[in-house]
């Protein structure tokens, strides 16, 4: 048995202007576990990875229209999310490896409309929170093209399972205008899990530009067969008849995609990376959640046919990172701080939201 090697990591943070969107359901299960090509292992080795991400959202879109008045009126919803993804990778031979990943998540959400209402002033602004483990993943990886000195390309494919380990029924307190306090499920965007067991597929490539510079690409898709998880979207209140008719009474379990493109600069046992990460929820996967309804493509339906999937949600952050190795067995760490230029666009004119 190989000994466990302790490690430490350094956070690499940039500070460009930050943008965000206040209505998101993108979760941390999109992290890829691919090693940089220069760190490909020839035999059995154990690798420990940590991936930290800070996310702040506050902008509002309805379709492609940004509701800038929300910021002007101070009625915006603000989400703060801190996620630490912990991953254990076991390389079995030159081509095969397995990985197990689980996130630790801390979320805070500040809003007016969920409590006393947008018209009541800032005294009606309150917070709801969630903290705990998110949805875990187990993945098998296979190198289709091995990293080698005699060619520049390498490619890796992955197939895995996403488990419903995160709590998708986290409750919070909602302070109403009549001074009552209601306990109910927090918004879907800060739930720790989605309640679904899904299948993940990945495809990762690297291209060696020269002896110290690598370009990389990561692609990830999560298939969630479950349509909805049964958790109310009404934050302690009873759903209306309209909620049942338009399919927004309960939270749905969306698919998710992620793509990443960037470069790694190699410096001995360390690597500094910079890339862009495109992630989101495909709007064409929205279907009607009303009782007895069949799944339908949202592209041919009205906006009311989409339940609380927040369909078509897309973000594009910049992702600086730092990798370092201890010996030949353990390497660390990619960080994704809130050094993000946000591009966020909801593809359908949803009648739900803030």
Q: 3-state class of 40 per DSSP?
A: coil
pLDDT for 313: 52
User: Burial level of 67, CB count in 10 A (0-12/13-18/19+)?
Assistant: middle
Q: Does residue 220 sit within a domain?
A: yes
Which residue range(s) make up the domain with 173?
A: 28-336
Under the banding of pLDDT at 50, 70 and 90, the label for residue 271 is confident
**Is 126:117 a contact under the CB 8 Å cutoff?**
no
Question: Is the pLDDT at 299 greater than 60, yes or no?
Answer: no
**Is 320:344 a contact under the CB 8 Å cutoff?**
no
pLDDT in tens, 53-102: 888 888 887 777 888 898 888 999 999 999 999 999 999 998 999 999 99
Q: Give the whole-angstrom CA distance, residue 346 versus residue 314.
A: 7
Q: Report percent pLDDT > 90 for the chain.
A: 37
pLDDT for 112: 92
**Is 95:65 a contact under the CB 8 Å cutoff?**
no
Q: Report the C-alpha dihedral over residues 113, 115, 119, 120, rounded to 10 degrees.
A: -160
Question: Is the pLDDT at 16 greater than 60, yes or no?
Answer: no
CATH number of domain containing 304: 2.40.128
pLDDT for 310: 42
Q: Does residue 19 sit within a domain?
A: no
Q: Does residue 353 sit within a domain?
A: no
Q: Does residue 345 sit within a domain?
A: no
Look over the chain and give the mean of its residue pLDDT values, rounded to a whole number: 74
Question: Is the pLDDT at 221 greater than 70, yes or no?
Answer: yes
Under the banding of pLDDT at 50, 70 and 90, the label for residue 275 is confident
Q: Does residue 95 sit within a domain?
A: yes
Q: Does residue 263 sit within a domain?
A: yes
Question: Is the pLDDT at 289 greater than 50, yes or no?
Answer: no
pLDDT for 133: 96
Q: Does residue 9 sit within a domain?
A: no
Q: Does residue 348 sit within a domain?
A: no
pLDDT in tens, 300-330: 333 333 444 444 455 555 666 666 544 333 3
270 vs 349, higher pLDDT: 270
Domains held by the chain: number: 1
Question: Is the pLDDT at 18 greater than 60, yes or no?
Answer: no
Under the banding of pLDDT at 50, 70 and 90, the label for residue 226 is very high
């Amino acid at each position: 048995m190989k000994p466990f090697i302790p490690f430490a990591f350094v956070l690499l943070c940039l500070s460009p202007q930050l943008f965000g969107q206040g209505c998101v359901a993108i979760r941390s299960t999109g992290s890829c576990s691919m090693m940089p090509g220069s760190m490909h292992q020839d035999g059995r080795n154990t690798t420990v990875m940590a991936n930290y991400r800070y996310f702040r959202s506050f902008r509002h879109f309805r379709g492609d229209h940004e509701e800038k008045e929300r910021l002007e009126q101070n009625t915006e919803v603000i989400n703060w999310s801190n996620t630490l993804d912990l991953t254990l990778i076991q390389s079995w031979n030159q081509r095969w490896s397995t990985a197990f990943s689980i996130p630790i998540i801390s979320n805070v959400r500040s809003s007016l409309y969920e409590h006393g209402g947008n018209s009541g002033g800032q005294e009606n602004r309150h917070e709801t929170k969630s903290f705990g483990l998110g949805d875990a993943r187990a993945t098998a990886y296979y190198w289709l093209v091995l990293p080698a000195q005699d060619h520049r390309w390498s490619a890796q494919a992955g197939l895995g399972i996403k488990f419903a380990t995160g709590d998708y029924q986290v409750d919070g307190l909602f302070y109403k205008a009549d001074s009552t306090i209601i306990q109910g499920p927090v918004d879907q965007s800060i739930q720790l899990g989605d309640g679904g067991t899904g299948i993940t597929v990945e495809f990762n490539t690297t291209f060696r530009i020269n002896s110290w510079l690598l370009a990389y690409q990561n692609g990830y898709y999560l298939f969630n067969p479950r349509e909805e998880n049964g958790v109310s979207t009404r934050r302690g209140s009873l759903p209306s008849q309209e909620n049942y008719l338009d399919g927004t009474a309960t939270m749905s379990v969306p698919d998710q995609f992620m793509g990443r493109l960037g470069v790694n600069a190699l410096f001995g046992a360390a690597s500094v990376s910079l890339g862009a990460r495109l992630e989101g929820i495909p709007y064409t996967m929205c279907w009607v959640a009303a009782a007895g309804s069949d799944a339908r493509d949202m592209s041919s339906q009205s906006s009311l046919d989409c339940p609380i999937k927040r369909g078509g949600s897309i973000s594009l952050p910049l992702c600086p990172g730092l990798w370092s190795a201890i010996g030949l067995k353990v390497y660390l760490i990619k960080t994704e701080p809130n050094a993000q230029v946000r591009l966020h666009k909801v593809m359908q004119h949803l009648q739900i939201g803030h």
